Amino acid sequence: MNTLFSRFPILAAIAAATLSLAEDPAPTTPDALVAEALSRNAELGFYTAQLDAARAETKTAGRLAQPSVDVQGGQIRSRNPDHSLAGEGAAWSASIRQTFEWPGRLSLRKAIANQDVALATLGLDAFRRELAGKVRETALGLAGSEEKSRIARGVARRFRDLREVLVQRDPAGIAPQLEVRILEATELTLRRRAADSELAANRERIDLNLLRGAALDTPLVVASTGPQLPARPALADLMAAANTNNFELRTRAAELVQQGFRVDLARNERWPAFQVGPSFSRQEGSSLDQTLGVGISFPLPLWRNRDSNVAAAEARRQQAAALLETSRRDVERRVLTAATGYDSHLAELADWTPDAVGHFAEAAELADRHYRLGAVPAATYVELQKQYLEAVESLLDTRRAALAAAVELERATGLGLVGAQPARP
């Protein structure tokens, strides 16, 4: 075979490529997944296009309307008092009209358009932070589900091997037979838990591929590293940061400012716009008449009663103010809830020694060896194996819950918590 590959290098290249495709993909870090999602996420393009559209509208919001041209033509006949024809010819006129808004109206429309840009920018930034947090949390869930499945299948395999050994011994009596059934039932239960974990991992892998803009069936392995969970800032600092940085509050505040401009615009629009421009007319009847002038036009009545529009705009401004206060209270609730949950999960993780999982694994292997020798009863053996799996699941679930609380604090306060130096080793 080596001689064949040495003679035909292309066969060696194809074989190497085939082996590389058959292997699992290299583990990817959460940071790399976040960077990929921020560059390839499909929904991100919607918010980017929304921002581009808002910026484009600002270029036309403060401009005057395009001028209009009015051209008329016809035939004129001039007659004497005795109704005899004095002359006939062409008659035509042309005028150009430019619409002028009431002073201050264009600047108000420009300000409203600028607020649309601010809102679109906040929406884009909020989605980017939301996307990064979702990717980190899903990546940790994927790694945890795969770890749960691996350990559950390992423990189930241990039960199967042991059960096969006991069956080969052909034990006599009721107690050994019941032990075999206990091992068999526990094995089936663990295999079901492993299958559930694999299904959860598959769902989270699909979600990650969707978030990062890859094909949904793309193989993906997340590096099995614990998240860096820093000590949170003081609650007063979190509240101050939320009132300053929270995207929802900033959006509500921008909407309130925009509604204030709309109220001013509604008041300004009580005065109508007017049109001004030159005009020229020519008549070629019994004489040649030409007229050059300047015209102005405006609707009547000059003062338009639009109090209902002003009242509606003012009501919407009050709604925006009420919504801002409601959102502020809701953000404070989210900060307090997330901070409390984060502290609780960190306290749980502090009780875990760095090598606790390794000790549980060693104890499970030790119990397996001694049970085969008859030194450990079946109840102790089964309970220890199950507790080993449950301990690992508890640690992984607590880590994910802590990360979810940290991500929620990031969303609420705008602070960068995930990725900082951990508070505890």
**pLDDT, tens digit, 9 for 90 and up, residues 265-323:** 888 888 888 888 888 888 876 677 788 888 888 777 766 667 888 889 999 999 999 99
- Angular region, 272: left φ>0, alpha ψ -120 to 50, beta rest: beta
Q: What is the pLDDT of residues 104-160, one digit of tens each?
A: 888 888 888 999 999 999 999 999 999 998 999 999 999 999 989 998 998 888 888
Mean pLDDT of 72-79: 81
Highest mean pLDDT among 10-19, 32-41, 178-187: 32-41
Share of the chain above pLDDT 70, in %: 89
pLDDT value of residue 23: 55
Q: Which amino acid does the sequence have at 234? A: A
pLDDT value of residue 171: 59
Place of tokens 């109220």: 263
Q: What is the pLDDT of residues 400-419, one digit of tens each?
A: 999 999 999 988 998 888 75
- Angular region, 84: left φ>0, alpha ψ -120 to 50, beta rest: beta
pLDDT band at 48 (very low <50, low <70, confident <90, very high): very high
Q: What is the pLDDT of residues 220-261, one digit of tens each?
A: 988 877 778 888 889 999 999 999 999 999 999 999 999 999
User: What Å distances lie between residue 35 and 25, 28, 264, CA to CA?
Assistant: 18, 11, 43
The count of other CB atoms within 10 Å of the CB of residue 234 is 9
**Sheet strands (E) in 353-413:** none
Assigned architecture for domain 22-64+103-270+307-413 = Up-down Bundle (1.20)
Q: Kind and range of the H or E element at 90?
A: strand 85-100
Residues of the chain with CATH 1.20.1600.10: 22-64+103-270+307-413
Could you tell me if 23 and 202 are in contact, meaning their C-beta atoms sit under 8 angstroms apart?
no
- Angular region, 374: left φ>0, alpha ψ -120 to 50, beta rest: left
Give yes or no for residue 166 having a pLDDT over 80. Answer: no
The residues with which 70 forms a beta bridge, in sequence order, are 95
pLDDT band at 19 (very low <50, low <70, confident <90, very high): very low
Give yes or no for residue 173 having a pLDDT over 80. Answer: no
Query: How much is the mean pLDDT over the chain?
Result: 83
Share of the chain above pLDDT 90, in %: 29
pLDDT-wise least confident of 132-146, 201-215, 346-360: 346-360
- Angular region, 104: left φ>0, alpha ψ -120 to 50, beta rest: left
pLDDT value of residue 170: 60
pLDDT band at 11 (very low <50, low <70, confident <90, very high): very low
Mean pLDDT of 351-356: 82
